[in-house]
Each structure stands twice: as structure tokens, then as C-alpha cells.
Amino acid sequence: MDDNEMLCDRKDTLLLSIIVPVYNMNRNNMLNECVESLIDQSVGTLGKYEVIFVDDCSTDDSLNVLRDYERRFPELIRVIARDRNGRQGAARNTGLRAAAGKWIGFVDSDDWVHRDMYYKLIRRAEETGADCATCYSLTVRDRSLSVPEGELVPSNFREGDITPEQTERTICLGENMWNKIYLRSTLTDNDLFFPENIFYEDNAVAAYFYIMSKRIAVVSEPLYYYYVNPGSTCNDMTINKIEDRLSAGDFFLKTARRLGIYESRKELISFGYFGQVFVMGLVHVWRVNAGFKERRRLLSEIRGAVLANCPGMEKNRLFSEYYPGLIRPYRLLKRSVTLYMAYHYYRER
């Protein structure tokens, strides 16, 4: 079966919507490189696709750059300008609500993709009957090379039906949004959207995009180029971001309950929350530029959240399997913030 025959029953519908949130990315040609990599995707030989750029109130010239591309490629590019900044989660939600494609993909605006990425993902998904698909990625630090070079990041997934073992790894290790496609019906049927106005919006829901699917396809090639951007919000730490960790964790738990999977997977979901709030929270607390009193307040919030939402964590089998080195710090923080801080300062001497 050739490409056109495979998709003839939906030739008049959009095959794919690619959603790209944008905020102040008009520097060092990064936005242009992202857009250019999406303009001539070979997936166009399978069916029509659209690229939805959502500008989240940029204060630089990003919106004008996007409008220029929209004028040049009106059949392909759609630009939506939000009237209020809601961070990446709100921008993604705006794009998701506007999307019409059978498949949904997400790209970060400082990254770029191989010309055949979406072609290969959709072909593999169609061939295997999957409702989501992923590929390998490259972590790139030098954008000047004509052929990207970087650290190869294989997929954590095995192709086939989504198993309890893969679900466990997804929850425990976390997952990203950007080197994948999902059936739009999976997202809309389960009302899967991102939390807004916080950082770490992907940590709050990415696992559920996968868990609520039934079968995954894997393309074992690095087709997504993830740029380690020195100016990215991922590379600096603030007190607000630590507080957003707790908010993302709350959204993670609420989503599990809303989807009706919390009670049947309580041990796993609780541990996923624990990883986001306690494990990453501790890392961030010691990275942030803050004084003793502020760190103590943040640690108290983390302690309270974990004790309230992760009862019996010491007996959770996943704790010793994934984070054995954190058992003692957890026990100390559970007893008192002062005791844990004394322990940390002693070890750092």
C-alpha cells in the first residue's frame, strides 16, 4: 500500500497538527530555524498538516516573525496571539483547542526537527496500529553545525502494547512531550490539558498522555534536536519555580483522580508525586539563591506536601528501587526540617 492509499479515507481532513508555544524566541535565529524545520515536513506526502504557533505575549519581535511566515505559508501556518501570558501550559492548551489534526505533536520553539520526523512517526504508528509514537532525540549544544551533533537519547519505551512495567517507568522517570505524536482523540476524550501559569507543566501531565494510550510505536532514529539553551527557563532556579513544583505535583494527583486511575495505582501515583515534589524539590532548594529562612520555609512546604500526599512512603517498594540514596534524608526531613538542614550542611562542609 502506498502513502496515498493508506490515508485515502481521510484525504480531505488534517492528518497532523504541530503545536509550538513561543515566548521571546527571536534571537540568534532560533525561532527561524524552528519554523523552517517544520515548513517542509515530508509528512505532507501522507496528508495535510498544520503548524500552530501560539505567541504567549512576547515582548520581542517573535510575533512579527511568525506573522511574516503566516503570510508566506497561509495554507500551513496558523499564528495565535494570546492576550495574556499564561506560560507554556496555557500556550499549549490554546494550540490544542485550536488543533484539527488526527495526530498531535508538540515542539519547543528553541528546538528543531528532522524533515522526516513526523512522516516516520505517523507511518510507524499506522503500520503497527499504535495511538502514540516516539523517536530518539539528540541533545545539542552547538547550533552552528550543518549536521547536528550531540548526545543521543534513546527512547525509554518498547514498541507494542503499553504494559504496567512501561507505565511504571514513565511515572517514576518522567517523560517529555516533544518527540512524540498522540491521537487527538485520546487527548480530547480524556480532557487532557496542561496546568497554566506555572513552570513544569509537562511534568504534571506528560505521563498521562502516554498512559491513556493503548499502544506505542517507536522509531529508533534521532529525529528531534533538543537544544540546551543557556537562556532557557529550565536552566535557572527561583523560589517561584520551587513553589510551582508543588503546584505541578498537585495537578498530577488531581489528574490521576479525575481519570479514575488513582485508587488502582495508588502506590505508583504517590511515588510519581514524591519524585516531582520531594526529589526534585530538594535539588532545587539547594540550587536557588536564597537565605537560611527562605530555604527553611520551602523545605517546610515540601515536607508538609509529601507527608499529606505520600503516606507510608518508606514502605513503598519503588522508593528503595529508584532513590535508595534519599531514604535517610527523607527520614530526617520527616522528623524535622531543622534536623534535615543540619544533616545537609554537615555533609556539605
Asked if residue 191 and residue 273 are part of one domain, the reply reads no
Q: Which residues contact 266 (CB under 8 A, 6 or more apart)?
A: none
Asked if residue 100 and residue 218 are part of one domain, the reply reads yes
Range 201-224 average pLDDT: 95
Asked if residue 135 and residue 88 are part of one domain, the reply reads yes
Mean pLDDT score across all residues of the chain:
92
Residue 285 pLDDT greater than 90, yes or no = yes
On the 0-12 / 13-18 / 19+ scale of CB atoms within 10 A, 137 is: buried
Asked if residue 79 and residue 16 are part of one domain, the reply reads yes
In this prediction, residue 311 carries a pLDDT of: 87
- Give the pLDDT confidence of 84-134 residue by residue, as tens digits: 999 999 999 999 999 999 999 999 999 999 999 999 999 999 999 999 999
Q: Which residues contact 109 (CB under 8 A, 6 or more apart)?
A: 20, 21, 22, 23, 25, 30, 31, 34, 53
- What is residue 161's three-state secondary structure? strand
Task: With cut-offs at 50, 70 and 90, classify the pLDDT of residue 10.
Answer: very low
Asked if residue 225 and residue 244 are part of one domain, the reply reads no
Asked if residue 250 and residue 225 are part of one domain, the reply reads no
275 in Cβ contact with 284 (< 8 Å): no
Task: Report which of residues 233 and 23 the model is more confident about.
Answer: 23
Residue 233 pLDDT greater than 70, yes or no = no
Q: Which of 198, 231, 264 is the last residue of a domain?
A: 231
Task: Report which of residues 72 and 229 the model is more confident about.
Answer: 72
Task: Report which of residues 52 and 173 the model is more confident about.
Answer: 52
In this prediction, residue 348 carries a pLDDT of: 80
Residue 6 pLDDT greater than 50, yes or no = no
Asked if residue 39 and residue 153 are part of one domain, the reply reads yes
Q: Which of 231, 265, 300 is the last residue of a domain?
A: 231
Asked if residue 309 and residue 174 are part of one domain, the reply reads no
Asked if residue 29 and residue 124 are part of one domain, the reply reads yes
* CATH number for the domain that contains residue 7: 3.90.550.10
Asked if residue 227 and residue 241 are part of one domain, the reply reads no
Residue 207 pLDDT greater than 70, yes or no = yes
In this prediction, residue 234 carries a pLDDT of: 57
Residue 202 sits at the vertex; the CA angle it makes with 54 and 267, to the nearest 5 degrees, is 160
In this prediction, residue 232 carries a pLDDT of: 57
Residue 318 pLDDT greater than 90, yes or no = yes
What's the total number of domains in the chain? 2
In this prediction, residue 143 carries a pLDDT of: 81
In this prediction, residue 349 carries a pLDDT of: 73
DSSP 211-275: HT-SEEEEEEEEEEEEE--TTSGGGS--HHHHHHHHHHHHHHHHHHHHTT-TGGGHHHHHHHHHI
Quote the domain boundaries for residue 332. 236-348
Q: Which of 212, 231, 250 is the last residue of a domain?
A: 231
Q: What is the DSSP letter of 315?
A: G
Buried-state track 154-181, b at ≥16 Cβ within 10 A, e below 16: ebebebeebeeebbbbbbbebbbbbbbb
